[in-house]
Structures are given as C-alpha cells and as structure tokens.
Amino acid sequence: MPAKKAKKPAAKQPFRLRQAAKQVAVDADQVRQDLDQLLRSLETLSVEALREVSERALALIAEKTSDEKPSLIAGVIRGAVSIGETVAGLLSRSGDDRPKKGRARKARKAVGA
C-alpha cells in the first residue's frame, strides 16, 4: 500500500507583509478622504479661482511628466545594453523581420508531377 503524502499547511503571510498590506489599505482610505474633501472645496470656488487651480494642476502634470521621461528613456537604454542591443537596433526592426510563430506548413506536392 503506497504511503500517503502529508498535505502542507497553507503558507502564512509573513507578519511584515500583512502589516504592509493593512497600511496600504489605510493609506488608500486616507487618500480617498483627502480627495473627496479637496473636490468638495472646489465647489465653493469662483470661476476665476477654478481657472487658477486648473492652470496650476496642468503645470504640475507637465512638470511631473517631464521628470518621468528621462528616467523612462534611461531605463530603456539600460535594458537594451543589458541584452547587448542598441536602442536604434531595437527601434529599427520591422515586424516582417521577426520569425513567424506557429508550425510551418508543408508544401503541397504538385498534382501529376
């Protein structure tokens, strides 16, 4: 008679991971509350004040976006170097040069030949 394998108990999450997950949930709730409060405060502003808020928000978005672009470009360059490829080589490849996926088809024999 074969020996029965003992079932492994479900792995418990480490304490630090559980604690971090709880903290993320608390932080997300706080962000939602802060955002709701901000949106409610916008309702009381005049049109001119709303325009100023909008202009400032667009300026912040542009600033943060411009900060992300160099780091994204640097990440692509580092990735290309790590696989031994140049960025120009990565970008210049056309889709037709790649090998096709799937099984190759067998050529049909000519009828009567």
Structurally, the chain folds into a number of domains equal to 1
Domain presence at residue 100:
no
Range of the domain at 24: 18-93
Which residues make Cβ contacts (< 8 Å) with residue 80, sequence separation at least 6? 86, 87, 89, 90
Q: Which pLDDT does position 83 carry in this prediction? A: 73
Please check whether residue 9 lies inside any domain of the structure.
no
**For residue 63, is it within any domain?**
yes
Q: Is residue 6 in some structural domain?
A: no
Q: Write down the pLDDT at residue 30.
A: 93
User: Is 113 within the bounds of a domain?
Assistant: no
Residue 111 lies in a domain: no
Consecutive 10-residue runs of the chain (113 residues): their mean pLDDT?
62 77 91 92 91 91 78 75 66 57 63 57
Nearest residue to 22 (alpha-carbon basis) of 32, 30, 33: 30
